[in-house]
Chains A and B, each alone.
Chain A
């Protein structure tokens, strides 16, 4: 075992020997609650993004239809 390895092993022992904090009883429940909120938030953002995309497509279609049928876009009558 090299000097560095021995020192690392000693430091590891020091870390593992330290006092362990008590785990709060509601840790899993709190984390799961926060995780569910995170998922809900992500779902909401995804839903809003889809809605925005659909609205943009509909608006574009409507705009194209209106521009296509408006008299301004029609070819000029013959003779002009």
Chain B
């Protein structure tokens, strides 16, 4: 009984390790875009991803056919939402000028290619709100440097 459990845990650890080996780079980049850090100082993104992956590991046996990548991404979003207030201040990253929810929508819709309805369900927002957030974020991203997005402007005032 104990031996079977140990073998099961070893197999789970092996599967998890190969999953992180394959998806870790992309997930860390997504986490980095969310925290707004520069690539050379990704401390907050790493701890965010480690927490999300730990929850994915804990749910590994209950996935039953669900894609572990989807689960990890969901956990990453949840971990980010729990700590979003900490990531408000600019850190010099690519999405620095966006507010936390705008970053989330941009990462899910554009970086990860998640459909609008699925993004809305993931964030608990109506689809129209997701579309508006995405349009505003894209405008801010493509505008010349120095022009803050509407969300950040409102947060600052």
A63 at the B interface (CB under 8 A): no
- Chain A residues contacting B40 (CB-CB under 8 Å) are 19, 21
A interface, size bucket = 20 to 34
B110 interface neighbour in A4, A15, A20, Cβ under 8 Å? A15
A3, chain B: closest CB distance, angstroms: 11
Count the A-B residue pairs with Cβ separation under 8 angstroms: how many? Answer: 103
Tell me how far the C-beta of A64 lies from the nearest C-beta in chain B, rounded to whole angstroms: 37
A28 proximity list for chain B (CB < 8 A): 16-17, 20-21, 24, 53
> In whole Å, how far is A16's beta carbon from the nearest beta carbon of chain B?
7
Interfacial residues of chain A within 1-41, with CB under 8 A of chain B in the complex = 4, 7-8, 10-12, 14-16, 18-21, 23-24, 27-39
Given known A-B contacts A14-B94, A21-B32, A32-B17, A27 and B55 have beta carbons under 8 A apart? no
Interface size class on chain B is 35 or more
Tell whether A46 is near chain B: CB-to-CB under 8 Å: no
How many Å lie between the Cα of A34 and that of B13 in the bound state?
A: 12
Q: Mark B107-128, 1 if CB is under 8 A from A, else 0.
A: 1011100000000000000000
Instruction: State which residues 90-114 of B face A: CB under 8 Å.
Output: 94-95, 106-107, 109-111
